[in-house]
């Protein structure tokens, strides 16, 4: 029993497991695939996303936990579990989730797709015509790029790339040199898609596909002429994909990261997936080769990589089975009914701050501002942080053009943005070649803040323009992630952003900010102080109120501060998309805290922090979650929304509409489980309402 009189808020019963909470988020993604109100091909896409999320979970989190055990560090996490206990709990949770994924695919999605003329043609059910087509494809397209590897002393077990489809083949007989062979490995070529579309007249349906794995299965005997194939089973190994860099000992960070990337594809194995039909003899053989244990083996009833099914959504032209098309809108003052060139964005920003809510509103104004700055002879300096950017981004062209025209251009590129390292190295090389001053941030701290600074001469004065955002400068994710961005020439914000760039590119003490908070210096402390301030107001008869939206909540001091505020009577609403280690609803501890998770067509990504402050309301947008890594080990920005009209917009669009959502919302219960909110009245979808409000047919002041 919990002593509610004076509870020790460091006790493990007050904390949820970070890793199990992450798996809980992935279950909610999977439940979107089970929602029959969502278009069929979008349900399939959600299933594929849940599979991809699991891959990354093993590559990063499970790999890290196993690495700790190997080092003898069986740490106790805040929820009271040792590393070994956490891994055991992960195993149970993942087993259940994977079984449900394959059951939904087999029993719901594939039959529904069949009814719509979208068919996965099974090997045992191919017609004679289909068999002939597959045979021709195998010999013309597949056989030339296959390399079977027989296993003997001259051909030891090969190094297999992370997450690539492979086959373990059981053989009997002698090869051309008289050698007795028992096993061989066949790796599916990465140059071919995993789903092969058949012509409609061959498939017998509008959209017929066969798995590449089925084609290899059907013709694997041709790879071993004169030998008997007794078994052929697909498998996949997942490897540790974390980069291990001793940054303090690294003289050239870019070269070190590039070197580690070569090793990532062959990192230590952490999971082996095999088909359910694979006999124990072969799965044990594979476990031995990868130095894994039985607990690392996952048997799946079907394709070993569900994410490969995502290509169906792209290849099948059935708009009726997908989300309706959506065109992002523009804020008032930027919309034009003519084909004339857009007016100067510098003039627009001078008239007042501009708030952009993506993807409901276009990211184009940010790009337009950068392009106008690159072409404007009055612009002296452009500085920008780049965390995740597509390699062919127009941002690169604009920065390069600005540098070539004689402007001072600085790009702070984070090389260690997970799974984007290779792209960012290429980005750095391109910018450096164009004359851009490229900086790789600060040793030991990832530069995660999203900001751009433009210094422009206007008559006899110099003015700073800034863009601050909660999301990345990534042309693809800006269409699918919800985020806020602010365009401003407010001198306070301009000076603060200038100081952050000064800290990133130079050396010296942390500089005091006029209005922004910055990790790792003032953000953590600033959030704790504001949470405590709300508690003090409540203790003295006021109405303390906190509303916060983020991707993850894990930092123990923040959680304890929220518990204390709840005990003081502060009403707290938390919109936490993913990880949440706080337990709501504990009598005497967190009964005033409500935690909700909202999922939908777009990935919820902004960080918004509201404090009532006894009527003098404070509202911040940030690049940082309330996670230990964000608050203490990264360079992050947290900026206030100073304009009252824009503050009201963020409150409405980013918080209140989501608190009213009853179609894509789950509530976190005290035991750590989530339950989906059932609509009892009028259905409310925050994302749908925002599409209507801000999309190309809607309007919003800003």
Provide the annotated active-site residues. Answer: 448
Question: How crowded is the C-beta side of 521, counted as CA atoms within 13 Å?
Answer: 13
At a CB cut-off of 8 Å and minimum separation 6, what does 189 contact? 142, 145, 146
CB 564 within 8 A of CB 539: no
Strand pairing partners for 329? Answer: 361
User: Rounded to 5 degrees, what are φ and ψ at 366?
Assistant: -65, -45
Nearest-5° angle of CA 102, CA 107, CA 108?
100
Cα gap 702→699, rounded to integer Å: 10
- Token output for 303: 């394709």
Cα gap 584→676, rounded to integer Å: 16
Mark out the alpha helices in 520-671 (DSSP H runs): 523-539, 556-568, 628-632, 644-650, 657-659
CB 497 within 8 A of CB 464: yes
CA distances in angstroms from 446 to 263, 388, 527, listed in the order given: 21, 12, 20
The distance of Cα 315 from the centroid of its chain, to the nearest Å, equals 23
Cα gap 557→579, rounded to integer Å: 16
Burial of 611 (0-12, 13-18, 19+ CB in 10 A): buried
Query: Residue 641's closest CA among 606, 690, 608, 604?
Result: 608
CA distances in angstroms from 549 to 298, 460, 620, listed in the order given: 35, 42, 10
* DSSP-based helix, strand, coil % in the chain, nearest 5: 40, 25, 35
549: left (phi over 0), alpha (psi -120 to 50) or beta: beta
CB 613 within 8 A of CB 586: no
CA distances in angstroms from 591 to 534, 582, 616, listed in the order given: 16, 12, 25
End-to-end, the C-alpha distance of the chain in Å comes to 51
Cα gap 433→453, rounded to integer Å: 22
Cα gap 585→594, rounded to integer Å: 7
CB 244 within 8 A of CB 313: no
Q: What is the DSSP string of 34-97?
A: T-TTS-HHHHHHHHHHHHHHHHHHIIIIIHHHHHHHHTT--PBPTTS-BHHHHHHHHHHHHHHH
The radius of gyration of the chain's CA atoms, rounded to the nearest angstrom, is 27
Strand pairing partners for 171? Answer: 229
At a CB cut-off of 8 Å and minimum separation 6, what does 229 contact? 169, 170, 171, 220, 221
CB 477 within 8 A of CB 388: yes
CA distances in angstroms from 285 to 294, 487, 649, 680, listed in the order given: 11, 59, 60, 54
């Amino acid at each position: 029993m919990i002593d509610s009189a004076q509870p020790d808020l460091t006790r493990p019963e007050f904390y949820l497991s970070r890793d199990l909470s992450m798996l809980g988020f992935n279950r909610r993604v999977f439940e979107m695939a089970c929602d029959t109100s969502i278009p069929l091909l979008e349900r399939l896409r959600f299933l594929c996303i849940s599979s991809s999320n699991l891959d990354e979970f093993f590559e990063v989190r499970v790999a890290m936990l196993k690495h700790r055990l190997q080092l003898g560090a069986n740490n106790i996490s805040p929820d009271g579990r040792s590393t070994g206990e956490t891994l055991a709990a992960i195993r149970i949770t993942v087993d259940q989730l994977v079984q449900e994924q394959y059951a939904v695919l087999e029993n719901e999605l594939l039959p529904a797709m069949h009814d719509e003329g979208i068919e996965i043609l099974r090997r045992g059910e191919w017609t004679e015509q289909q068999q002939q087509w597959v045979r021709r494809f195998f010999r013309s397209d597949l056989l030339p790029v296959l390399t079977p590897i027989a296993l003997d002393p001259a051909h030891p077990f090969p190094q297999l790339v992370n997450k690539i489809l492979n086959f373990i083949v059981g053989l009997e007989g002698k090869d051309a040199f008289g050698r007795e062979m028992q096993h061989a490995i066949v790796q599916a070529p990465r140059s071919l898609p995993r789903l092969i579309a058949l012509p409609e007249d061959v498939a017998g349906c509008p959209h017929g596909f066969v798995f590449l794995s089925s084609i290899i299965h059907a013709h694997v005997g041709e790879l071993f002429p004169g030998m008997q194939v007794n078994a052929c089973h697909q498998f996949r190994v997942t490897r540790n994909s974390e980069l291990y860099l001793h940054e303090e000992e690294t003289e050239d960070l870019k070269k070190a990261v590039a070197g580690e990337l070569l090793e990532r594809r062959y990192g230590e194995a952490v999971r082996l997936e095999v088909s359910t039909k694979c006999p124990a003899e072969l799965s044990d053989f594979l476990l031995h080769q990868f130095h894994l244990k039985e607990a690392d083996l996952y048997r799946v009833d079907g394709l070993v990589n569900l994410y490969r099914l995502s290509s169906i959504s792209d290849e099948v032209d059935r708009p009726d089975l997908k989300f309706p098309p959506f065109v992002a809108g523009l804020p008032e003052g930027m919309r034009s009914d003519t084909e004339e060139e857009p007016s100067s964005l510098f003039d627009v920003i001078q008239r007042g701050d501009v708030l952009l809510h993506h993807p409901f509103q276009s990211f184009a104004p940010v790009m337009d501002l950068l392009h106008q700055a690159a072409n404007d002879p009055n612009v002296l300096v452009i500085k920008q942080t780049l965390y995740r950017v597509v390699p062919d981004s127009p941002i690169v062209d604009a920065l390069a053009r600005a540098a070539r025209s004689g402007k001072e251009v600085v790009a702070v590129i984070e090389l260690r943005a997970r799974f984007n390292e290779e792209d960012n190295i290429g980005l750095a090389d391109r910018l450096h070649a164009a004359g851009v001053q490229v900086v790789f941030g600060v040793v030991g701290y990832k530069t995660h803040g999203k900001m751009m600074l433009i210094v422009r001469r206007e008559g006899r004065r110099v003015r700073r323009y800034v863009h601050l955002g909660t999301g990345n400068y990534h042309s693809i994710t800006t269409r699918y992630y919800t985020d806020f961005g602010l365009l401003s020439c407010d001198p306070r914000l301009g000076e603060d952003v200038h100081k952050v760039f000064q800290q990133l590119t130079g050396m010296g003490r942390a500089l005091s900010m006029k209005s922004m908070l910055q990790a790792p210096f003032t953000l953590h402390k600033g959030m704790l102080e504001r949470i405590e301030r709300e508690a003090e107001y409540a203790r003295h008869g006021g109405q303390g109120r906190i509303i916060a939206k983020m991707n993850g909540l894990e930092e123990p001091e923040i959680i304890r501060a929220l518990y204390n505020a709840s005990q003081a009577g502060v009403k707290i609403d938390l919109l936490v998309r993913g990880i949440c280690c706080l337990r709501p609803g504990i009598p005497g501890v967190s009964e005033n805290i409500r935690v909700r998770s909202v999922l939908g067509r777009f990935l919820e990504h902004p960080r918004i922090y509201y404090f009532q402050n006894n009527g003098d309301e404070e509202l911040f947008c940030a690049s940082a979650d309330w996670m230990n890594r964000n608050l203490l080990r990264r360079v992050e920005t947290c900026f206030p929304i100073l304009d009252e009209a824009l503050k009201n917009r963020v409150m409405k669009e980013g918080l209140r509409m989501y608190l009213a959502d009853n179609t894509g919302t789950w509530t976190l219960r005290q035991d750590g489980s989530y339950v989906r909110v059932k609509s009892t009245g009028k259905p409310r979808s925050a994302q749908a309402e925002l599409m209507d409000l801000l999309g190309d047919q809607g309007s919003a002041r800003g």
